[in-house]
Amino acid sequence: MKEFWDDRYRHTGYAYGIAPNRFLEEQLPQFKSGSILLPADGEGRNGVFAAHLGWQVTSVDLSAEGRIKALKLAENANVKLAYLVGDIENIPFKPASFDAIALIYAHFAASNKAAIHQKLNWYLKPGGILILEAFRKEHISYNEVNPNVGGPKELGMLYSTEELTVGFPDHDILLLEEKDIVLDEGKYHQGSGAVLRYVGRKKQQ
C-alpha cells in the first residue's frame, strides 16, 4: 500500500485537491481547538485546515511523498504540521494524547480495523471528539459504475454503522448518518458515493 500511495502523491498537483473535506469543514469549527490526530492525512489538506483553526495537528500517513506535499501546503498557508510517516497501527502515542481525532476516508484492512479503532480510542482523551467520514459498504456499487469516485474495492475495508457503534462503545453519538453524496475532491473523488458520517464524544471516565 505504501508504494500505491507514494505513486499517487508524487505527481504534480494534489490528488484530492487542497480544500478540506466538506464534512470536516462543517464539523471541526464547532469544537474548541486543542490537539488533533489525523491518520491517513495524505497531502495534508485536512491537517492544514485544522491548523488554520488553531489546532495542534499531528498528521500520519504511509506515504513519504504525501508528507513532502503536505509540508509544502502548510508552508504556503503559514501553518505547522507535525507529520509522521508510517502505519498508524505501529506508531505509538501515549494514552489520552488527543482532544480530537479525524478519520477522513481512512480505510483499513478488515483484519486490522477493529484493533486500530481500539487503539485510536485509547489515544483520545475522555471528552474528546471523533469525526469520521468514510465510504460505507453500499459504495461498492457506485465504484463499479464510476471508478473515478474512488474508495476501496474490498467490502471489508468499507464501513457500516454497526462497526462504529461496536468499535467506539464508550462514545456519546452526536451525529451518525448514512448519505449518498456527490464528491468533488481533486482527481480521485469525483462522482456519486455512499458515505457514513459520524461525530462522537468519548465519555468521561
The domains of the chain are located at 2-202
Q: In angstroms, rounded to a whole number, what is the distance separating the alpha carbons of residues 104 and 114?
A: 17
Q: Which has the minimum average pLDDT: 35-39, 140-144, 191-195? A: 140-144
Kindly indicate the confidence band of residue 122, based on its pLDDT and cuts at 50, 70 and 90. Answer: very high
Fold of the domain spanning 2-202: Rossmann fold (3.40.50)
pTM of the model: 0.97
Range list of H helices, the chain = 2-9, 22-27, 45-52, 64-77, 110-123, 139-145, 161-167
| Banded model confidence at residue 132, pLDDT cuts 50, 70, 90 | very high
* Sheet-wide strand order for 82-85: 82-85, 56-61, 35-39, 98-104, 124-135, 189-202, 171-185
